[in-house]
Structures are given as structure tokens and as C-alpha cells.
Amino acid sequence: MAKDRGNKMIVQGLRISVALGLLFAPCVASAQQLDNSQIMSTLAQMKSAAPAVDVALLVEEANANVGKGVAALPNWSKLSELSQLIVEIDFENNSTAIEPESYRTVGLIADALHHPDLFRYKFLIVGHSSATGSAKHNLELSQKRADAINEALSTTFAVSPDRLFSIGAGEEWPIDPGHPESADNRRVQLINLGLLK
Amino acid sequence: MIERVGIFAGAALAAFLSITTLGRADTVSYADAVTTLAKGCGSDIKRFCNGQNLGNGRIKACLEKNASKVSPTCTSTLGSVMTSIAQRQEAQASVFKVCQHDISQYCNGVKGDGNILSCLVETKRVDNRECNQAITDAGWR
């Protein structure tokens, strides 16, 4: 079933950025065509010294610092040390509805999370926006969008909900800080939070 | 007469096996399944299901609610995509049960699902056809 036809879409729909994944995935290049095994090899690398992250504290910090950025905050800064990748998932304008063109990307994540190599791990979905619109609205919308990806993975694709967490970063952590309104800043981070307890 | 029955049984078995094989060939990844959905139903989703999401069966419910308006291609695509997602889920859920014997025989003491799977895939002696097929159907090769 349409096994080869999705290749073009994957180039548009799934970009991986060097900036944040670099530490754990030195071989990953930008704008690269990704497949399931590449997603897995990136996410399965887990350092034993990886810091524990409390998602409730991330929410607290983000809400208390709207418009001031999150990258340097004590809990958010821990995220940079974790194994992760960045994907592009497009949504309808000002909505939490994932564009059909991005279904494949969500499916690729589902395939990876269902592989036995990743069974034991829990994951954080972080939604990011560009700086168009108000910072507070962007924070709220990106949280809802991250939740929508979480919901799709845990219902349609039956990933166990206790392995999934989602949070919005709004415009607070641009990948291109020199151009906060750039569309490149709209992205989704998928972060390995470590072993399920 | 006995020979003829034998031939008939053989043919029936061959037909059964080919059907089973065909059914199995339909197991595709979640990514491929929803790519097919986006291709077959993308324009209908945008037209009739604006703001609706993939999660919790909402896209499926919306397309079914608008069944009289959505394209016939989309209607048939939706059915086959939902079936293939369910097949993949069943296949993935069954591997460790179907392969239980091979696991205890060849991978005894191996800890962790990922390591057990690697052991099964690497153990050439796993001669259980069903176990091999289950791993393939789960998309874990």
C-alpha cells in the first residue's frame, strides 16, 4: 500500500535539525530524509547521566516567564541534554488540527515508539511557534497542538498514554533567535525522557 | 478417488496459504497507512472536517458522518487504512506470545524486549515460521 509514494512528502514533512540533536546524534544532517530506523537510532541513545525532567515544573516555568524565553530556565535547560529530534508537523491556521500532509510524520513517530527498542522509554512532545501574534496566545496554542499530537499517538496509534507527555513552548525558545518570526521556529521536538518507572 | 481427494486437498491448502500470505502482505507501517489516508482523503478532510483532529477517531467519525458527500475513493481508503492500522497493532501485540517457545529456547536469560527481539532476529536457528512471520508483520525487521 503506497509504500514508496510517500518519499516526497517525507522531505517536506519531516525536517531534522542539527541544532538540538547534535549532542547525541552527530551523524544527523539537516533537511535529511528520515526513516523509522533513523528516528529510532537517534531516540534510543540514552545517557545514564541524563537528568530527570518534571513536566509540571516546565509548565510552571513557562507560564511564569511569558515573553522572556525559556531556554535558560532551570528545568527547561535540562531538555538540551536529552536525546531528541525535531520534526515539522503542520497545523491548520490558528487551530489544533494537524494538516493531512503531516499525518505521515505522526505515523513515523508512532512506528518508532512501537518498536521494542523504545518500549521502555517515555517521551515529551514540545510544541514551538514563531513570534507572530501574542506570546501568551502562542504559548497556549502550542500547548494545545502538542496535546493534539499526544492524543493522536495515544488513541489512533495506540501508544500507551503513560509514555507520553506534551507541553507548549510558544515562541519562547526559537531555533532561529535572530529571526523570531521565521517559520523555521514552528516545530515539534520529540524528547526521550528516560525509562518508564 | 483417493488421489483426487488428495489433489483437491492440496489445491485447497495452496489456496488457503496464498490467501493467508496475501492478508499478511497487507501489514504496512503506521506512516504508510496514514500517508494513504492523507492522499485518498486529504481534500475531503479539508473540506468537511475543518478543525477536526486525527486523534480519538474524530477524522474517521467526520468522514463517516459526511459519507454522502465524500469521494468514493476516500470512503474505500478510510476502510482499508483503518484495517491496516488494526492489523499492524494486532501483529505487534502478538509477537512475544507467538515467539514464546523460540525465546525460551534460544534467548533464555536475555533481558529487555529490544534485546529479545534482536536475539530472535539474529538467531538463525529460529525455525518457527509463525514467529518469523509475526516479526515481519510487526514491522520489526
Domains of chain A, CATH where assigned? 7-195 (3.30.1330.60)
Chain A within 8 Å of B109 (Cβ-Cβ)?
A: no
Asked if B29 is an interface residue toward chain A (Cβ–Cβ < 8 A), one would say: yes
Asked whether residue B70 falls in the same domain as residue B132, the answer is no
Mutate to test the interface with A, among B22, B30, B113, B115 (most CBs of A within 10 A): B30
- Tell me, yes or no, whether B15 and B45 share the same domain: yes
Residues B83 and B131 both lie in one domain:
no
Domain extent for B37: 2-98
Please tell me if residue A151 touches chain B, with a CB cutoff of 8 Å: yes
Instruction: Count CB-CB contacts under 10 A for residue B63.
Output: 22
- Determine the residue type at A19: A
Q: How far is A98 from chain B (nearest CA, A)?
A: 6
pLDDT, position A34: 66
Same domain, B64 and B108: no
Kindly indicate the confidence band of residue B126, based on its pLDDT and cuts at 50, 70 and 90.
Answer: low
- Comparing CB atoms, the residue among A5, A111, A120 nearest residue B29 is A111
B80 and B28 in a common domain: yes
Whether residue A10 contacts residue A34, with contact meaning beta carbons closer than 8 Å, is answered with yes
**B108/A contact by beta carbon, under 8 A:** no
Are residues B136 and B84 part of one domain? Answer: no
Shortest Cα distance, chain B CAs vs residue A81, angstroms: 24
Identify whether residues B46 and B105 lie together within a single domain.
no
Q: How many domains does chain B have?
A: 2
pLDDT for residue A161 is more than 50: yes
Interface contact flag, A120 B112, Cβ < 8 Å = yes
- pLDDT, tens digit, for every residue of B57-90? 999 999 999 999 999 999 999 999 999 999 999 9
- Tell which residue, A164, A187, A168, A191, has the closest CA to residue A105: A187
Helix (H) or strand (E) holding A189: strand A187-195
pLDDT digits (tens, 9 = 90+) for A43-75: 887 767 789 999 999 999 999 999 999 999 999
Q: What is the pTM of this model?
A: 0.82
For the stretch B51-60, pLDDT in tens is: 999 999 999 9
**pLDDT recorded at residue A33:** 55
Q: What is the pLDDT of residue A8?
A: 29
* Residues B77 and B110 reside in one and the same domain: no
Residues B88 and B130 in one domain: no
Do B14 and B62 lie in one domain? The reply is yes
Q: What kind and span of H or E run contains A169?
A: strand A164-170
- How close is the nearest chain B Cα to the Cα of A147, in Å? 10
Q: Is the pLDDT of residue B18 over 80?
A: no
pLDDT > 50? residue A76 = yes
